[in-house]
Amino acid sequence: MIQFLGTSDAQGVPRMLCDCAVCRSPQNKRSRPSIFLHSRTNILVDVSPDFRQQFIDCNLSIPKILLLTHAHNDHIAGLGDLADLCFWQKSKLTIISPQNVLDEVKQKYPYLNSSRNVYFLPKDHVVLDDMFISFHLVNHGNNGTSYGIKFTSKDRQWSYVSDVICMTSDQLKPFYHLDLLILGASYWDVSDYPHQHKRSIYDVREALQVKEMVMPQKMILTHMSHDIDISKRVLPEGVFFGRDGWKVMI
């Protein structure tokens, strides 16, 4: 089972000092992006600045594994809280991601090591709980690159690709015909955005185009800014807005 811990973009919803209708709406309250896999091992994907409150609100178990899509603040800034939790509870945490991501994390958190019950495992694929988990490099626009993570089991395939834009045909290949694609879409439609070259995440219009290309059975959108009012916008059949705390069977 997948649980969405946070579904916002880097600034969260409501945004600080913003008085727009979406930020005032309780239906659109969203924390920074992360998901939790309730399994034998308990796997956390990304650890946002809001991890402590997410852990409490969702009544989570301590994760044994942390998978990282990339080392941007909104995806790793809860690592200090998670490491403290594991240290004081005497629980081992293994952080898995490709080498370049882990190198950046170690630079930002030089005190995290085996003495704090934190271990780093540089891998672009690994087998956990009978799932083959693989990391796939994708474009992150003006913010460089990120990784989409694909989970393959005996009868299910699904992926978490939170920070991505303008995927090439080669980058799209791992994500065809999935049972579920979780995809980042920060805005509703920015086709007239004056600074297209500075973008880093799909909008919903573009995300739906990706769906038409790779044809997942179901798509759930995440990484949503205050431009998206999930109480008023309507999506096509088989496409859903993620919601903080939502549990999805897979």
Tens of pLDDT, residues 57-112: 999 999 999 999 999 999 999 999 999 999 999 999 999 999 999 999 999 999 99
- Provide the pLDDT confidence category of residue 195 given band limits of 50, 70 and 90: low
**pLDDT value at 194 more than 70:** no
**Residue 27, pLDDT above cutoff 90:** yes
Tokens of 50: 């809001």
* Pairing of β 2-6 and β 34-37: antiparallel
pLDDT band at 51 (very low <50, low <70, confident <90, very high): very high
The pTM for the full model equals: 0.97
Which pLDDT score is estimated for 198?
79
In this prediction, residue 123 has a pLDDT band, given cuts at 50, 70 and 90, of very high
Per-residue confidence (pLDDT) for residue 183, from 0 to 100: 98
3-state secondary structure of 84: helix
Q: To the nearest whole percent, how much of the chain has pLDDT over 70?
A: 98
Identify which has the larger pLDDT, 23 or 39. Answer: 23
Please provide the average confidence, as pLDDT, over all residues in the chain: 96
Give the distance from CA 21 to its chain's centroid: 25
Contact 136, 171 (CB under 8 A): yes
Average pLDDT of the residues in 49-60: 98
| Residue in the block written with tokens 């069977």 | 249
**The pLDDT of residue 191:** 83
- Rounded Cα distance between 150 and 97, Å, is 12
Neighbours of 197 (CB within 10 A): 7
Checking if the pLDDT of 136 tops 70, the result is yes
Average pLDDT over residues 152-170: 97
Exposed, middle or buried: residue 129 (CB in 10 Å: 0-12, 13-18, 19+)? middle
